[in-house]
Amino acid sequence: SGSVLTLGETMGLFSGAQTGSFAHVAQTTIGIGGAESNVAVGLARLGIPVSWVGRVGDDSLGNRVVREIRGEGVDVRATLDPDVPTGLMLKEFRGRGTSRVTYYRSNSAGSRLSPADIAAGVVENASLVHLTGITPLLSESARRTCLSVVRRAHDAGVRVSLDINYRCSLAEPGVAAEAIGEVCGYADLVFGSPEEIALVSPVSQLREGTSFGTTSAEAIAGLVRSFDPDGRREVVVKRGAFGATSVNGGASVTAAGHTVDVVDTVGAGDAFVAGYLSGDVQGWTIEQKLARANACGALMCTIPGDWEASPTPAELDEFLDSGADPVQ
């Protein structure tokens, strides 16, 4: 199986030790998190060789970011930025499996990622490069880094994966559509919610303010056709508890989600992507990739933490054997 390269910003993560707003919560626990490193850890747990590239501050949280990801067996290539701090996010638990994340990342070290941070050969020797739509919205240099990486991948014949992962706190929809769309133009494999697929769709009526709710698989296939009229790409639509639909060259496969007791949904999307990519680099069928991805996503909902509980193949088998039946 091939190796994966991913890059992005990973931050310190302070989570409330109790449910409630940080206006009143007394204790926090400290961890780290970032969409791409969450995916990297997920892949490492599944036995896939993976590298993560990013920038951190020359500070205690930067040290923690590098050590934690490296400790998971990910090949970490971090640039230490002496001038600015490592970014930070706060996670407040609001009960019933919901949480609110607030970012303190403007002008952070991670947002200053630059094309020169990705050494020669790092892209070219991977079998797949995974990006998210977060990175091009972080800064002008981060946007240029994404473009440089996908162009290098394109030139070297390396498969490109993009999780649109639109964060409205980083950019207005119009700005995001343009910056993410540019990177998306190079992607062979695209992940997103129906709303995110619409955001980067060339069909402008779909872009803003469209809500897809519990959209049917047929409606999703139609949405994907307007996003990718030539059927050139593999488009994976994440549908929360409903599972996911993957459309490739006109063929559409839907896999139902699992019924689970939800504790914390943050990180489900990243675990899903890690599961899907682990199958992709091993040449699995779409059905096999979706099955693993749904199991990874569902399992992550049952355990707090953004990436810590990323499953191993043995844990996935145990989860599936425990009667976690697909919803029908």
Query: Which positions lie near ligand ATP, rule CB under 6 A?
Result: 193, 238-241, 243-244, 257-258, 260, 262, 265-270, 272, 294, 297-298, 301
- Please say if 280 is a catalytic residue: no
**Shortest distance (Å) from residue 301 CB to ligand ATP:** 5
Counting Cα atoms < 13 Å in the Cβ hemisphere of 34 gives 35
CA-CA distance, 137 to 132, in Å (whole number)? 10
Q: Which is nearer to ligand ATP, 76 or 260 (CB)?
A: 260
Residue 114 burial (CB count, 10 A): 16
* Residue from 270, 317, 321, 325 carrying the catalytic annotation: 270
**Shortest distance (Å) from residue 266 CB to ligand ATP:** 5
CB 139 within 8 A of CB 110: no
Q: Which is nearer to ligand ATP, 36 or 270 (CB)?
A: 270
CA-CA distance, 257 to 294, in Å (whole number)? 6
Alpha-carbon distances, residue 208 vs 70, 201, 217, 218, 225 (angstroms): 39, 10, 21, 21, 18
* Three-state helix/strand/coil letters over 203-233: CHHHHCCCCCCCCCHHHHHHHHHHHCCCCCC
Cα Rg for the chain, rounded, in angstroms?
Answer: 18
Q: Which is nearer to ligand ATP, 244 or 281 (CB)?
A: 244
**Shortest distance (Å) from residue 79 CB to ligand ATP:** 26
**Shortest distance (Å) from residue 260 CB to ligand ATP:** 5
Q: Which is nearer to ligand ATP, 143 or 239 (CB)?
A: 239
| Active site (catalytic) residues | 270
